Amino acid sequence: MSTVAVVTDTTQYLPREVIERHGLHLVSLYVNWDGRTDREIDLPDYDAYYAFLRSGGELPSTSQPSVGDFLAVYEPLVERGDDILSIHLSGGISGTVRAAEQARDLLIERGMQAEKMVVVDSLTGCAGHGFMAVAATNAVAGGADLAGAVAAAAAMRENLKIIVMVDTLEYLRRGGRIGAARAWIGATLKVKPILTIEGEMQPVERVRTASRAFERLVAHLEQRREDGCDGFAIQHIQAPAEAERLAERGRAIYGRDPELISEIGPVIGTHTGPGILGVTGLRTDLLGPF
């Protein structure tokens, strides 16, 4: 019986030990900055990158993986007989999932059975599709086949509601990834927007001050607890103190530590800018061991 390998990309920003524990296979996106191109996966930390981003020079750019990058990960898995579930950043903000589909189609042309690989557009990003990947690997560990792994990822996605406090819309505007929130461009560049990713960046609420935006994130955690979530998670960009302050509020609501506090890397950070804080509640029965 074939086992199921789960592939995702680097924009989930789960801790490295979680990636290794669950045996996730990663395809890296790229960031082009300060006259160089780096694979995001090769950056030891993000401090130098964000210092450059803050410097106000030319805005860095990001690049999706090539079809060849995907083939380099897929081909060894195909050769050993694995089925493959490949879960990626929303196609509404990146072409990554389209490149994955092209690589899959090439493998089918070369003789791979079509039913041995499923590529999923998560319609979300950052920890969102990371949690989907973890849910899938936990299902596989419990004996699920490819269809079962897909179902576990889908159930996780169905229950996810992630909101993000953005320090400014300026980076989203400059990078062209603002999505439906473009209606807020103008005077609202001076407010603290609350956004979510549902296919593309979607507006949730406009908040006048950082303190009110922070309390909006806390209210989201409270609402998710009422909805049946028993865990929570936090991601940020260059805001560790604020992330820890939010974690303290979350501990009071959930009676436990967050599943993760992690920093969002350059590929997403290029388009959102430093200072963002994101949060979600989680149903751990859908996620499984983290």
**% of the chain beyond a pLDDT of 90:** 80
Q: What is the average pLDDT score of the chain? A: 92
Picking from 158, 185, 209, the residue at the C-terminal end of a domain is: 158
245 pLDDT higher than 70 = yes
Mean pLDDT check: name the lowest of 8-22, 119-133, 198-212, 253-267: 198-212
pLDDT of residue 144: 97
Residue 271 confidence class, pLDDT cut points 50, 70, 90: confident
pLDDT of residue 183: 54
Q: What is the CATH number of the domain that holds 215?
A: 3.30.1180.10
192 shares a domain with 149: no
185 pLDDT higher than 60 = no
More confident residue, 179 or 242: 242
Phi then psi dihedrals of residue 259, to 5 deg:
-60, -35
178 shares a domain with 150: no
Q: Tokens at residue 227, please?
A: 């909805």
Picking from 132, 158, 184, the residue at the C-terminal end of a domain is: 158
112 pLDDT higher than 90 = yes
8 shares a domain with 131: yes
Mean pLDDT check: name the lowest of 178-182, 233-237, 244-248: 178-182
194 shares a domain with 119: no
pLDDT of residue 179: 57
pLDDT of residue 172: 72
275 shares a domain with 207: yes
pLDDT of residue 218: 97
Please give the residue range of the domain that contains residue 186.
162-287
pLDDT of residue 206: 83
Picking from 107, 123, 158, the residue at the C-terminal end of a domain is: 158
| CB atoms near residue 241 (< 10 Å) | 8
Residue 178 confidence class, pLDDT cut points 50, 70, 90: low
Whole-number Å distance between alpha carbons of 101 and 105: 6
Phi then psi dihedrals of residue 28, to 5 deg:
-90, 140
Domain contains 118: yes
Whole-number Å distance between alpha carbons of 95 and 89: 9
**% of the chain beyond a pLDDT of 70:** 93
Residue 278 confidence class, pLDDT cut points 50, 70, 90: very high
Q: What is the mean pLDDT of residues 3-26?
A: 97
pLDDT of residue 108: 97
153 shares a domain with 9: yes
**Residue where the block lists tokens 């996780």:** 156
Q: What is the mean pLDDT of residues 10-37?
A: 96
Whole-number Å distance between alpha carbons of 128 and 166: 17
pLDDT of residue 265: 96
Q: What is the pLDDT of residues 136-168, one digit of tens each?
A: 999 999 999 999 999 999 999 999 999 999 887
Are 57 and 274 in contact by the 8 Å Cβ rule? The answer is no
Whole-number Å distance between alpha carbons of 146 and 89: 20
141 shares a domain with 17: yes
The number of residues in the chain equals 290
pLDDT of residue 1: 58
pLDDT of residue 190: 65
| CB atoms near residue 116 (< 10 Å) | 18
Q: What is the DSSP letter of 183?
A: G
Domain contains 228: yes
pLDDT of residue 168: 77
